[in-house]
A and B are shown apart, each in its own frame.
Chain A
Amino acid sequence: MDKETWEEFKKEFPKAEIKEIDGKPTVIVDKDEVVMVCDFLKRHGYTLPASISGVELPDRFEIVYHLFSISKATWCVVETFTSKDEPIVPSVYEVFKAADWQEREIFDMFGIIFEGHPDLRRILLEEGEDDFFPLRKDFNEDGSPN
């Protein structure tokens, strides 16, 4: 993004923290703002939702959106957090259709609920009665819970 757009971004989202991680501009935002931030970035050229990933940190879950601008060949990364007791994040499905499957995968693997997702169900694992989320750190590789 050029300077003007960053100024506009800061004006629109004063609470967002801007950093540079791994050579990519990264904005860390509150989860309530994440849909608006993604929409803003989409309008400013970051149209390709390359990847949406879930990460478990010791005290919270992190959702990382890697957005790419094809015309400028640059990245913008959006990070947001949610607590472990109540893992709920708004869905960005309305902005990026790619979120449909990517968020389902995160739900499948971490049990994070995406509010507003049209069809939130398991995608890779079988639907079952048990609540098990394999990519959580307290889940062992052999399938046994801690």
Chain B
Amino acid sequence: MALRTEEIIVNVGPQHPSTHGVLRMLVTLSGETILKVDPIIGYLHRGMEKIAEKRTYTQYLPFTDRWDYLSPMFNNMVYSLAVERLMQIEVPPRAQYLRVIAMELNRIASHLVWFATFTLDLSAVTMSAYMYGFREREEILDLLERLSGGRMLYSYICPGGVRGDADDEFLRKLDKFLDTFPKKVDEYETFITQNRVFQLRTRDVGILPLETAINYGVTGPCLRASGLAFDIRKAQPYCVYDQFSFDIPVGDKGDCFDRYWVRIREMREAVKIIRQAMENLPKGDILKKLPPQYKVPEGEAFVWIESPRGALGVYLISDGGTKPYRLKIRAPSFSNLSVINEIARGMKVQDLIAILGSLDILLGEIDR
């Protein structure tokens, strides 16, 4: 009997635990080797850019929470930055520091969700790392609840400052968290980093060359894992990031393991930043009050910040009215996902799950 080969198309998702949301992929396979990946997105499209044109600046703030629902602080921040840039508002120093604390806490929380689900994707259930990630995230959610009143969607950072002050109890709890958290990261590393199965599943899998990464607009930990120390917090500091000392973790090869390794070290760096911000927290106002409805001067602004997933940008055009004329969201996950066909080609089908997990995409932000 003659052996016959045939290309087959496998449909992954949209309802699949390892797609982290509602992502569908058409994977063309030859045997077990991937020939082509065609991601089909848009299942979570809510028209965030159109909604912005029909809402006042104040009304739109809660919508920003829902772009990337695992790190809403960054969405609030980038939107507020764009509005503040056009209105030329100076934000009080205490608010700037609180923003940094809130964002870096949120960065850890977001990375923890990624860590938990990534290990789950690689079937690390038996190692319990999944639950450990969510255990520490819970502490952060409690902290952010104390600060902002919300557990998941905060609308905490708003144009002009922040909407709640840090009280003594928050600072005490934060201090305790910062003391214990690095030890928890050590714990994860003993479970995962040197784990033989984990190493085999991630080393040399899904290598993203630096040139390709830049050309596709890949940013954030995925870009840094490919060996370029590009971090907007250092390159174009916003808020008060220029006043803190921290390192930019970099990988060298750009495989799944490097992306993992960069994010783990980023959590440690975030702890350092929060510690510095907490110790130097100035006293004073936290909000420069704006009226409920205000006009933003005519003009345009493009701002971007370093979100847990990469460069999150907003291109805001105002015609001088109370609503944005155009608001374009530059979502990091959107660019990061677009490279998947490039890096998954030639890998085995089980590697696709590892690659997708290591890119840390979020569909709320991709589809908007």
- Mark A residues whose CB is within 8 Å of B: 21-22, 24, 47-51, 53-56, 64, 66, 70, 73, 75, 77, 96-98, 100-102, 105, 109, 122-126, 134-135, 139, 141
Contact = CB atoms under 8 A, between A and B. Distances in A.
A70 B302 contact: no
B215 A50 contact: no
B301 A22 contact: yes
Contacts of B236: 73
B257 interface: no
Given A55-B326, A96-B217, A141 B51 contact: yes
Given A55-B317, A66-B315, A123-B41, A50 B330 contact: yes
A102 B216 CA distance: 10
A24 B85 CA distance: 13
Interface residues of B, number: 37
Interface in B128-147: none
Contacts of B184: none
B214 A100 contact: no
A101 B338 contact: yes
A109 B338 contact: no
Identify whether the interface residues of B are mostly helix, strand, loop, or mixed.
mixed
A98 B335 contact: yes
B228 interface: yes
B302 A24 contact: yes
Interface string B321-335: 000001010100011
B42 to A, nearest CB: 4
Nearest to B330: A51
Given A98-B215, A101-B334, A51 B54 contact: no
Contact of B215 (A55, A96, A125): A96
A53 B304 contact: no
B220 to A, nearest CB: 12
A64 B317 CA distance: 12
Contacts of B200: none
Contact of B302 (A66, A109, A123): A66
B313 interface: yes
A35 B227 CA distance: 29
A49 B54 CA distance: 29
A54 B219 CA distance: 21
23 contacts: A22-B300, A47-B214, A48-B214, A49-B215, A50-B304, A51-B302, A53-B315, A53-B328, A55-B317, A55-B328, A64-B315, A66-B302, A66-B313, A66-B330, A70-B230, A75-B302, A96-B217, A98-B216, A100-B338, A101-B335, A126-B42, A135-B50, A141-B51
Contact of B313 (A47, A50, A141): A50
Contacts of B291: none
Nearest to A54: B328
Q: Which 10 A-B pairs have the closest CB atoms?
A: A98-B217, A124-B42, A51-B330, A53-B328, A101-B338, A73-B235, A124-B45, A97-B215, A97-B216, A49-B217
